[in-house]
Amino acid sequence: MAGSMEKAVRLTHTAWVVASKDMRLYYLRPGTLMFGVLFPLFLFFSFAVGRDLPVEVMLPALVAISLFFGSSSTGPMAIPTERKTKTYERLLVSPTPPMGILLGQTLGGFVFGLIFSTVPILLSLFWFNLAVNNVVGLVIAMALSSFAFSSLGIMFAALPTDNPGDVMMILNFVRLPLLFVSGLFIPLGSLGSGGLLLAAFSPLTYANDLLRWSMGGGNYFDPLLDLVGLLIFSIIFLGVGATLHERIRRKDLLARKRGQKGG
């Protein structure tokens, strides 16, 4: 019992140290701000301008897209950059728990997405006098969505490259289709059976639907289904990401041992 508690404390400490480092170094990087803040804002307003929709519908969409791009952009910026500077390799071969490193990278994107997406909510509360129907539901929806999207970014950050642009380009080939089938701009009830089938494979569908429910904008699925959907995607993204990063760690260790023998 004591050993398990010690491992949990060590894992938590490692995750927080890595997350704190990412917050200091990568939150204000041009690439993070471009892909995590400016790009989703311009994308949202390009669809929202001229559409006569109530704030209860538009705000959840803005928060969802902010979480989606903000949370999933930090890891793909941080990990390839640290590969270039050899910082990531030193972390992987250090005595620190590999899962702690991965959770720390995920936590960095998680916090960034929450900070960025909270801004439009606060503005709406004071500017539009928006009344949130379910505060607890809103907090849970934002937290679970941010974690799922951050895990998505960490999964793609396992791509073997030291150029963040390479990861972002491939990631956007996935994020944009997930965005367009998620019901943000076209109501889920108007998608038809085929569209709903595609929407079911987008984590953004469940995030937006749960956010709309918590803000009184009208949800399509049962909130419990949205929660389960986000949990499933979180487990899949984090599990696949952990597997891919572990393979890279083993390859780096093997390459280092061969280099030492050759030397």
pLDDT tens profile 133-150 = 788 988 999 999 999 999
Q: Which residue has the higher pLDDT, 261 or 158?
A: 158
260 and 178 Cβ atoms separated by less than 8 Å: no
Q: Which residue has the higher pLDDT, 119 or 35?
A: 119
Domain that holds residue 85: 2-262
Alpha carbon of 128 to those of 54, 120, 135, 142: distances in Å?
A: 11, 11, 17, 20
Q: How many structural domains are present in the chain?
A: 1
Query: Ranked by mean pLDDT, which of 13-22, 48-57, 66-75, 254-263 comes out on top?
Result: 66-75
Q: How many angstroms from the chain centroid is the CA of residue 44?
A: 17
Give the count of alpha carbons within 13 A of 126, CB side only.
5
pLDDT on residue 105: 87
- Tell me: pLDDT of 60 over 80: yes
Lowest mean pLDDT among 142-146, 162-166, 221-225, 230-234: 162-166
Q: Which residue has the higher pLDDT, 97 or 134?
A: 134
pLDDT-derived band at 237, boundaries 50, 70, 90: very high
Query: For the whole prediction, is pTM greater than 0.85?
Result: yes
